[in-house]
Structure formats: structure tokens, C-alpha cells
Chains A and B, each alone.
Chain A
Amino acid sequence: MADLRDLYQEVILEHSKAPRNYRELSGANQHAEGFNPLCGDHFTVYLNVEGGAIRDIGFQGSGCAISKASASMMTQAVKGKSKEEAQKLFSAFHKLVTAGEGNGDRADLGKLEAFSGVSEFPVRVKCATLAWHTLQAALEGKQDPVSTES
């Protein structure tokens, strides 16, 4: 049986209660909205991108502990990274939350490995990846809100 403590690790609970970079970024030059229409989660990710790198990042919105902590820890993980590095991190993160531990592509995940327990709870994968999909949309300059259901 999956253990709740694998899902709700201390670092995740802590970030969900006190999310980092939880603000609308003044001077943001890119942003995107993301929805999970089935559970009502809704986040906006703000970016300041210069020279192909994420100089600053902020987010706002509402959602469950997993989605909020994931957004918070994502902002810490990608700040200062290039677009390509952020994209690579998302790929590794996506593998982590869908396949769990034991896949090779997780070299730079660092703290984000706390989300490995999500793979035991398939219905929560969307919660963990919502902010990342929103980040991706912001980086690509998409106008329409992204949805976990499309």
C-alpha cells in the first residue's frame, strides 16, 4: 500500500503552507495561466526572461498542497536557469512523478525528488505538474490558458 508520508513529505507540506516566490512579478515580460478544470486548481506563473534565461519567477493562485508545493519548489529550481535547462528539468520531473524512482534521468532534480511519492498516486500527477505546464506555456509565450485536460 502506498504510504501517505511518501506523498506528503515534510518539505512538500512546508512549501504548501509557506510557498516561495508567491507574488505577481513586477516587470514580468512573460506569464501564463494554468487550470486543472476537474479539481479547480488555478495558477498564474510570471516570468522575467532575459537573454534566454529565467531571471526571476513568481506565481499566484490556489490549489491543493501538492500543486502549490510543486509550484513553489519549481520557482526555486528554475530561477536563473536557461529555457533549455528548465525544459530538461521538467522532463526529468515528469518522469519522476509518473515513473517514480529508478529511472536514470534525474541527475539535477535535487529537492524536487521529494515528489517521487506522487507516482504511487496516479490521480495526483496532474496536481504535481500543473505549475510546470504553466511555466512551459509562459516560456513559449502561449496566450490561452493551459489545462491539464487538453
Chain B
Amino acid sequence: MTTAAKLPPIEAASRANVANQGFDVAKIRRDFPILSRDVRGKKLVYLDNAATSQKPQAVIDAVKRYYEQENANIHRGVHFLSELATAEHDRARETIKNFINAESSREIIFVRGTTEAINLVAQTYGRTHVGAGDEVLITAMEHHSNIVPWQLLCEEKRAKLRVAPINDDGELVLQEYEKLLGPRTKMVAVPHVSNALGSVNPLAKIIELAHAKNIPVLVDGAQAVPHMKVDVRALDADFYAFSSHKMFGPLGIGILHGKAAFLEAMPPYQGGGDMISSVTFEKTTYNRLPFKFEAGTPDVGGAIGFGVAIEYLNRVGMDNIAEYEHELLAYAVRTISGVPGVKLIGTAKERAGVLSFVLEGVHPHDVGTILDQEGIAIRTGHHCAQPIMQRFGIPATARASFAFYNTKEEVDALAQGIQRVHEVFA
């Protein structure tokens, strides 16, 4: 690409036509203090939400208030603060349970994040149900966190990791997936939404096909929960994992939702305090759910902040968020694919949150540096999904990822930033 062509003019009318009534993005942006800061002398345009999202004031305040006013260890104190912290921690779990429509808060296990949730299932359910010659089925669009834990398990058990293919648009090939569900398949692990491509998987169908053969399904929901209403009971997922920090809550905490029948039957993941009912040197009796899987002092402040993030999302409304983001992403696809030299990677019919692209003649890393000088934060690289890069025959992509606080003006800034890349490389 040697010449930078002019972008088509963006009509003010199309920009003003922002989503549904009652969803006021300007008002929402004021809830996120970081969004008003400058970066490198430019207004911050934060388009790296799939890596981590920004936090609303309510979450920041809740974490601050916890450490200023409520900090104590939970489940063991007879004193006022311990009771208060325990109650707040329980309330957060209840909020999260309701948010994903789980049957019971016993099924809501606090973990460090999606990665730990998947490792937990691989190391407990996996180690007791997968043996030599068995198979674990994943897809070609996994994040490394939904590959490596299963690889470790398969190596240990001399089992086989099978991979259901994706097509050139980045969609799961359902017929191939179905064929791979065999008599030796002991576990299916799939992403709800691909972090590198944005593809939304047909989860209901994926789960139905696996259940027809009595195979349990784990869903990596990290990239879905911030963008759409997720109902784990309607999906009938056996395990559903997600992270707080990608949905406007604090870092370092996440959830494994598991059906109680599975969790009851699984051995513990880690041993320690809180996960026991009684301990002697001869024998330990494990605590009831969810505590059986929560050894050690948890991140109480993180859990409280997480609960507040979900209360915030409930106030905005997940349906409003999904509707607004759908329009924003469609606008981004139209606008960015119209920039000369841009090729989108991941063109699935159903997409959420993510726009991955490569620019002819320019490495994504250089795109990222030049956009950064314009105050635009995107991610460049393989997005912890190297097999996807191999599938598309590229070393890396540039990825813009959106949240409900992003605007069409920011999409326009991205388009102009890409033009700037052309100017530098002209």
C-alpha cells in the first residue's frame, strides 16, 4: 500500500443515530473515570476491552469502601467486621448467581478467573473421567486457556485432544464437530465467543449434540458475559467459566459455574482452609458446595467489587447493552472494512465485541504503535490464540474490541488512525 486513499465521509446523521432510546452512552461514559483521561496528549480511545475492561466508579468505590470500612476475614470471625464481610461476600455470590440464572449459589465457585476455572475442571472432573485412549474435544478457535489445561490432562492420561475445525469466516463447522463426538469423547470444551475472531458459537446446538451422547460440556464464557445475557440453565451448560475483569469488575477474580451434580461428585481442586468440615491427620471431610472448591482466604474485596459490577450491568440492562453493541460493531465493520488495505479476520455471521484485522503491507505491531501515538489502545499479536493465527496463515492481527461505553466517534478515530498508519508507511 503506497497511497493513502481518502476515507468516505461519515455522515453526521448516521453517527447521531445511536442505538436505542434510553441508552445514553455519554452518561455511561461519565461513570468510567478512566475514559476521560488523556494518553500521549490525545483523548484516550480504549478499544482493548477483550483484554480487560475499564471499571465504573461504583466498582472502584465498593473496593475502596471494603478496605476502608469492612475488611476482615470471612467465615471464621465472631466479630462485627467478619460478619459484615461474610454477608457482603455471600451477597456478591447471590448477585452473580442471579445474573447467569444459575439454579443455586452452591453452583457458583469463586476462582481467580476463567483460566483457573478451566484448570479446576480439567484437574478434577477431567482426571477422574478421562483415561488412556479417551478423547477431549475442543475447537480450532480456542484461547490458549482452553487448550493447554486439556493438553496437560491428555498428556498425563495418554488421552487424545481432538480439534473441531472452523471455516474461513471463523465459524465452527458443526457437521465436523458432530462427527468428532465419538464413543471415546469424555469432555467437550468450547468458547461461547472467540476472543480473537469475535465469532459467537451456536452453543445450544453444540451442547445438545454433546448431551445426546452423554458428554459434558464446558463453556469458556469470558468473552460472552460482558456482551449478552447468558442463562446457564437455558443453555444447559455443565460448566460455564468467566472472569470479572472482562465485565467491568476487579482483576483476579472469576467464576466457575458447574451443575451441582457434577460438583458434588468431583474431588477437590486445592486443599486448605475453608474447604473442609473437619480435619484429623487420618482423614479430612470436605466442606459442602461451593466451599469445597474454595480453599484458602478468598479475594473478598474482589468478590464484592464483582457483585457491584454486575449490579451496575443490571441497571444498564444486558439487553440494552447487546442491542447498542450490535449496532456499534456493525458500524465498525462497515467503517473499518472501508479503509483501504484493511482485511478483516473473522467474518462469522454471529459476532460480538471483536474486530480483528490485518493491514496490507504493515505488520500489526507497527499498526499498534502508530495508533497508540493517537491515544488509541488496541491489542496486536496472536491474542493467546496461536492456532487461530496458523489457521488463517498470519503471524498476528490487530484487534479492536468494544464495550458498551465505546462510541461511533471512537470507531471513526480508529479509521483515521489506520489512515495515519498508511501515511507513515507511504
Contacts and interface: CB of A to CB of B under 8 A. Distances in A.
A23 to B, nearest CB: 20
Interface in A1-41: 1-2, 4-5, 7-8, 13, 17, 38-41
B77 interface: no
Given A13-B425, A65-B362, A7 B389 contact: no
Given A39-B396, A40-B396, A66-B366, A4 B424 contact: yes
Contacts of B370: 4
Kindly state the interface size class of chain B when it binds its partner. Answer: 20 to 34
Given A1-B40, A40-B389, A8 B381 contact: no
Contact of A2 (B373, B382, B395): B373
Contacts of B382: 39-40
B395 A38 contact: no
Given A2-B373, A41-B395, A42-B395, A64 B381 contact: no
A38 B361 CA distance: 20
Contact of B365 (A2, A5, A64): A64
Kindly state the interface size class of chain A when it binds its partner. Answer: 20 to 34
A13 to B, nearest CB: 6
B343 interface: no
B184 interface: no
Interface of A: 1-2, 4-5, 7-8, 13, 17, 38-42, 62-66, 68, 121, 123-124, 127
23 contacts: A1-B40, A2-B373, A4-B370, A4-B424, A7-B369, A17-B361, A39-B364, A39-B380, A39-B381, A39-B382, A39-B396, A40-B382, A40-B386, A40-B389, A41-B365, A41-B395, A63-B365, A64-B363, A64-B364, A65-B363, A65-B366, A68-B363, A127-B365
Interface of B: 40-41, 361-366, 369-370, 373, 380-382, 386, 389, 395-396, 424-425
Given A40-B381, A66-B365, 14 more contacts: A2-B373, A4-B424, A8-B424, A38-B381, A40-B389, A40-B395, A64-B364, A64-B365, A64-B366, A65-B362, A65-B366, A65-B425, A121-B369, A127-B365
